[in-house]
Amino acid sequence: MSKKCIRKGIIFIILAALLLIGHHSFAADLVLNNTPVRVCFSPGGDCTANIVQEIDAAKTEILVQAYSFTSAPIAKALLEAKKRGIHLTVILDKSQRSQKYTSARFMQNSGIPVYIDDAHALVHNKIITIDRSTVITGSFNFTKAAEEKNAENLLIIKSPALARIYTDNWVLHWQHSDSY
């Protein structure tokens, strides 16, 4: 085997390793200037109503990734978005398979694709991206308890650049998730 072939093989292995490393870890830097952000705190900040308002304004796509999802108003807003022709997909933590009360079955029965990410100890993300331009994130679980009892925070950030980063990360998780 020639030195040239060996070098090409080594370069290929290094590039493949870098791609695999990039696949499992994700970090990005971004400077957000003049970016509209809504900040909500619960209890009392109407976080659920703010999420529903954003879902209701969606025009093309909604991607959800959640640890716990029992909020009837958010699930119903997603169903209404589906009826309006919005493309949407939900990724949930594996705990949602065995939870007594979860919106996973409701969404699945409504024709909303639901996936379970069990590649991690916990999928503790609480993320919704809308139309690749809005990111909803924070400690706020999509639950009644988060709205009424817990001390939680929620950010609604209008930034296509940030939405792209969150969407790319969402896709990485979707790729190793299984249908509910």
User: Is 14 domain-assigned?
Assistant: no
Kindly state whether residue 53 falls inside one of the protein's structural domains: yes
Q: In whole angstroms, what is the distance from residue 72 CA to residue 54 CA? A: 16
Residue 107 belongs to domain spanning: 29-179
Residues of the chain with pLDDT under 50: 9, 12, 14-23
Split into its structural domains, the chain has a count of 1
Report yes or no on 15 lying in a domain: no
In the set 8, 83, 87, 124, the catalytic residue is: 124
**What is the pLDDT at residue 46?**
93
CATH code where residue 126 lies: 3.30.870.10
158 part of the active site:
no
Residue 134: exposed, middle, or buried by beta-carbon count in 10 A (0-12, 13-18, 19+)? buried
**Alpha helices, DSSP H only, in 25-115?**
47-56, 72-83, 104-109
Q: Strands 134-138, 152-158: parallel, antiparallel or unpaired by DSSP?
A: antiparallel
The per-residue pLDDT for range 111-154, each reduced to its tens digit, is 888 888 886 766 688 999 999 999 999 999 898 999 999 999 99
Is 178 designated active site?
A: no
Asked if residue 16 belongs to a domain, the reply is no
pTM of the model: 0.80
Reply yes or no on whether 124 is catalytic.
yes
Of 76, 82, 94, 131, which one is the catalytic site residue? 131
Q: Is residue 7, in this structure, part of any structural domain at all?
A: no
Residue 173 and residue 123 in contact, taking contact as beta carbons nearer than 8 Å:
yes
Does the residue 12 lie in any domain? no
Please check whether residue 131 lies inside any domain of the structure.
Answer: yes
pLDDT at residue 58 in the model: 98
Give a yes or no: residue 159 inside a domain: yes
